Amino acid sequence: MPKESIINLPPYEEMSPGAKKMRSFYDLKPDAPIYQKEFGFYSMDRWKAEGHLSADVSEKELAGLFGFDPPGKYQTGNLGWCEAGFCPVFEEKVLEDLGEYELVQDFAGRGVKCFKNRRSGFMPEYVDHPVTDIKTWEEKCLWRMDPQSPERIPDIEKAIAGAKSAAAEGQIICANLVGGYMYLRSLMGPVDLMYLFYDNPQLIHRCMEGWLALADSVYARIQKEVVFDEVFIGEDICYNHGFLISVDMIREFIFPYYQQLLANVKSRQLDKTRKLHFQVDTDGFSDPAIPLYRELGMDYLSPFEVASGSDVVRTAREYPWLLMSGGFDKRIMAKGKDAIDREVDRIMPVMKKRGGYIPTCDHGVPEEVSFENYLYYRKRMLEFA
């Protein structure tokens, strides 16, 4: 593949169909056809059990059935989502038989109490976490974040190859990784982390230094051959009343590492003219995060959890520069066609005229949503495609 096809964007008319629609989204193009996708599904088991989908239904079949667009964005992966980007991960094993339940060690090194022989599809009980002090950090976790580990190198090379192919189509190339708060929470647990901010701030900084060193090294390798369009962090730093930790904590323990990573990524871009977008994904009431993360250049927020008070129409009017995805209430999807119609008619004409919006369920589609309701929702969404 010629080098220029990796560094420079192809002409718009030569981009793939998915890339064209995705580029229009990132350009905040008013009244552009809206890219069609979904956040995820928790409803598949129900739909399969009811006979609507085959047990081995493929992503391609789902895309055809629901009218999803072809890929317009490539995520490099490998650096975590809700947990640290360990490589190798912890061995998954049963630690204790508790009758109806079992205590297991998961891939992130946490002790998890769950139903016996069922480790997904519900909220488990986290009993312990791998990091309690600097000693446990170094012995259990730090070595798993070596960017040059033999297990990690093949994944990096695979990501580079995939990014090259996607870039040649004009797709958005995204450097995605676990955000600082979610990373720290997975290491220490949400409650213990609150105490450790005060009791052992040196530990917090050591862990964040490891986060930065891993991400920066991996991205430096990828950027030798590919230009990034976006840095994405899975943060989940909000709940239904706003931030889970104070703004002062965010500024002291998280933002310096984000600032450094973003500065380093920008400095290495082979195409210095390419805009680098910064997306933050957080559950809960995310409005307070907008002006704060904007200080670092954040221009894309998701997924706008409606039950926590988020509203994409209100936020779009307040922040006309903001790229947005999510925001369709999963509870309304479950209510039926009339409720779906009211919400589609409230959101979609406004957001399509504005641009910069990709509608999805505000989390994975829950099992309460019937197949009939979801098909109807997709039919309505395709009116704006």
Strand order in the sheet with 73-75: 73-75, 172-178, 230-234, 277-281, 300-302, 323-328, 357-361
- pLDDT band of 3, cuts 50, 70, 90: very low
Domain that holds residue 102: 91-129
330 and 208 within one domain: yes
Beta strands 230-234 and 93-98, pairing class: unpaired
73 and 114 within one domain: no
Q: How high does pLDDT run on average in the chain? A: 95
261 and 184 within one domain: yes
176 and 116 within one domain: no
Instruction: Residue 46: give its domain's CATH number.
Output: 3.20.20.210
98-154 per-position pLDDT tens digit: 988 999 999 999 999 988 877 666 677 899 999 999 999 999 999 999 999 999 999
pLDDT higher than 60, residue 285: yes
326 and 374 within one domain: yes
349 and 293 within one domain: yes
Look up the pTM and report it. 0.95
260 and 141 within one domain: yes
Q: 70, 103, 129: which is the final residue of a domain?
A: 129
163 and 74 within one domain: yes
110 and 76 within one domain: no
Q: Give CA–CA dist 343/247, Å, rounded.
A: 33
334-384 per-position pLDDT tens digit: 999 999 999 999 999 999 999 999 999 998 999 999 999 999 999 999 999
Q: What pLDDT is stored for residue 2 in this prediction? A: 40
List the one residue out of 130, 185, 171 whose CA is nearest residue 9.
171
Give the residue-averaged pLDDT of 271-282: 96
315 and 168 within one domain: yes
Cα–Cα distances (Å) from 192 to 77, 186, 294, in that order, read: 28, 11, 29
163-197 per-position pLDDT tens digit: 999 999 999 999 999 999 999 999 999 999 999 99
Tally of domains in the chain: 2
Strand order in the sheet with 93-98: 93-98, 101-105, 111-115, 125-128
Q: What pLDDT is stored for residue 6 in this prediction? A: 73
121 and 8 within one domain: no
Q: What pLDDT is stored for residue 122 in this prediction? A: 65
113 and 192 within one domain: no
